[in-house]
Structure 1
């Protein structure tokens, strides 16, 4: 079975590509060849490179990786960029032509330590939405599902697909019945909202098997499997803690997902959303 990795990153050596001065961590270098060598043995043939917060709106590393991928057949990549509300049309067109399929924003309460420096904040969506719609681009949102009850009416009116990072990002210890996760499930059913089954290590306190996250995984499966995507979150650029094994994360997805849904979530949904 072929897989699409819907959430991964590339990081250049610091002396080759400057990082945002307001960043809250400095990840180690990780290039597209390393991603291929790690994920290809797991059946992954396509990937979605997500602009990490450490680069702000500077896309030189992302665009270089997308260009490099063209020489690494059979490898197909798309990109998720980060732009300010006043980005020019020419820049949006340039990003789209390079393979960008979505724009990433952050939505957290003021002072939340997860609202890392370098992100473009949620209010930019008002100005960006019509321009994304014109180009067939979607919104990727880095947030906490506990904030979704207040945001849900706006997401229901979205003119573009909305992809929520990392299973909603709320701690797995809260379980699957809190209001935020219930809102997320409802949005998946009734609004143009997708969710990435990625970043388990970022919500779990029970590594390496992350058993506390299984209830969240299963609740999302029950809500709308046609709105789910699998992602590795390689190279696991978390500010602290032990990095998870990418192969072990794939094993968890297979173990926790009924066989009848694996191809839909691992391949079909991503192929439709990202245009592969």
Structure 2
């Protein structure tokens, strides 16, 4: 079975699915599709992808209407993730409400890398700790879209919640940190509840489609985490 975990859906219907006022970026209009779900299901069929996890993208903030509609339309093949702002007083209540409304939401995602300091300053922030604990209590996966400079901070919460699976996105965005900081990313492989997503290679390599320049690096990461702790995503 082939499972992809990283598809982002962007709709050209910005009245029905508006971008969030606090969006860290707005996707290029070339990625907007009138019916992104139908478009992606065709992609799944063409490439033999059996199941997929829709990763709710940053431009929609904590407005989950698009991912909820997609899960309602295709409940068997798809699951979804969520996103909230840890500084918001109602973030935990919103997470509980979302999971109660749609149990196919399997994860909540934290963003901590260059350009996203409106989400959090530190994984020691009280709002971050509380939201992580809420996700753990709900049995969710914690998804980390982090740069290497946040790996050591995240380790404290990873150790505090050993039963909560943690998925690191995009190889921890290696271009956003130093080699010394990336050593902290590799150190996270020691925890049995931590998984690494092989995706986002185009964020630091430009020799598509095979990305030969990244082969030695990605092999090193895969060796550290092991095949049972690697997740694949083709998107960015």
- Aligning the two structures, in what range does the TM-score lie when normalised by the shorter sequence? 0.7 to 0.9
- Is 1:221–2:202 an aligned residue pair? no
2: distance between equivalents of 1:156 and 1:218? 26
SS at match of 1:195: strand
Cα pair distance change 1:164/1:65, threshold 3 Å:
same
How far 1:58 moved relative to its partner? 0.3
Asked if 2 retains the 8 angstrom alpha-carbon contact of 1:103 and 1:140, the reply is yes
How far 1:17 moved relative to its partner? 1.3
2: distance between equivalents of 1:53 and 1:103? 12
Gapped regions of structure 1 (runs ≥ 5)? 237-276
* Equivalent of residue 136 in structure 1, options 127, 136, 139: 139
- Is 1:163–2:157 an aligned residue pair? no
How far 1:183 moved relative to its partner? 2.3
Cα pair distance change 1:125/1:173, threshold 3 Å:
closer
Cα pair distance change 1:153/1:90, threshold 3 Å:
closer
Gapped regions of structure 2 (runs ≥ 5)? none
SS at match of 2:50: strand
Map 1:143-154; keep pairs closer than 5 Å. Answer: 143-154=146-157
What is the TM-score with the length of structure 1 in the denominator? 0.71
Query: More relative contact order in 1 or in 2 (CA 8 Å, sep 6+)?
Result: 1
Cα pair distance change 1:90/1:148, threshold 3 Å:
closer
The total of aligned residue pairs comes to 220
2: distance between equivalents of 1:96 and 1:125? 23
Cα pair distance change 1:37/1:67, threshold 3 Å:
same
Cα pair distance change 1:90/1:226, threshold 3 Å:
closer
SS at match of 2:3: strand
2: distance between equivalents of 1:39 and 1:22? 31
CA deviations 1:74-98 (Å, max 9, x no partner) are x51111101244331641432552x
2: distance between equivalents of 1:94 and 1:116? 29
* Equivalent of residue 33 in structure 1, options 35, 38, 54: 38
